Amino acid sequence: MSAQRHILILGGTTEARQLAAELAEDPALRVTTSLAGRVARPRLPAGQVRIGGFGGPEGMARWLREQQVDALIDATHPFAGTISFHAAQAAASVHVPLLALRRAGWVPGPGDRWHQVSTLTAAADALPALGGRVFLTTGRMGLATFAHLTDQWFLVRSVDAPEPPMPPRTEILLDRGPFTVEGEAELLRRHRIDVLVTKDSGAAATSAKLVAAREAGVPVVVVQRPPVPDGVPEAADPAAAAEWARALPG
């Protein structure tokens, strides 16, 4: 058995890449990052990389055992869905320490015109009363939720090209952050956007659109984060997560 402690990072976020880069420099650690494989050309982190699902919590638990993982860090996107619950179940079943690296959510400030909703469906329901030209930045996976909206025009931004179904009046913008306030403000002006739809990802790389919307007086529909497992210790940033990993018993 290797003397190195094996750390598995459930990644796909900027914080996960920063954490992998920091831990990979420690000779006492072996770092593997798992990516879901939903992005065609992901930014690969330092250390070893695996791509694809595990096959549920049982499959993840089996992988943890077979690969002799000593600790698991859930650094997935706040809207990654059920993976955090699978991680909690898998880690508990094989008695592997688990830490969740969760970035802080966005908080509205003076001048913001936020409409907070719990789901994409609620966001779609809110749009007819808010505007006809929509900047949709919720990713390509949920476009079907808005496909029935025939009166609105949508500017949809995503990393990879989305597939139907989608709203009939849609323009696709393929781009990846970080974005600037100036660039986002220009998008709002050029496309005459009167409502922005986003998820509360909390990422600094994509928060410029919120500032631009505030300055332009554009209302923002913010989809709140889904629930996360109870009882899982959390770190607010990669530095704290790295400290936790290094402090694990050898």
- We report the CATH number of the domain holding residue 128 as 3.40.50
pLDDT computed for residue 1 by the predictor: 40
Nearest CA to 67 out of 21, 34, 36, 45 is that of 34
pLDDT in tens, 180-190: 999 999 999 99
52 with 100, same domain? yes
80 with 167, same domain? no
130 with 64, same domain? no
Tell me the two tokens of residue 146: 């808005």
In a domain, 109, yes or no: no
168 with 68, same domain? no
The model's pTM is 0.88
Burial environment of residue 17 by CB neighbours within 10 A (0 to 12, 13 to 18, 19 or more):
buried
* Domain containing residue 70: CATH number: 3.40.50.720
In a domain, 173, yes or no: yes
pLDDT in tens, 92-105: 999 999 999 999 99
Q: Is the pLDDT of residue 249 over 50?
A: yes
231 with 219, same domain? no
Q: Give how many domains the chain has, as a whole number.
A: 2
Phi, psi of 154 (to 5 degrees): -120, 135
Full residue range of the structural domain in which residue 44 is found: 5-104+227-246
Phi, psi of 85 (to 5 degrees): -70, -40
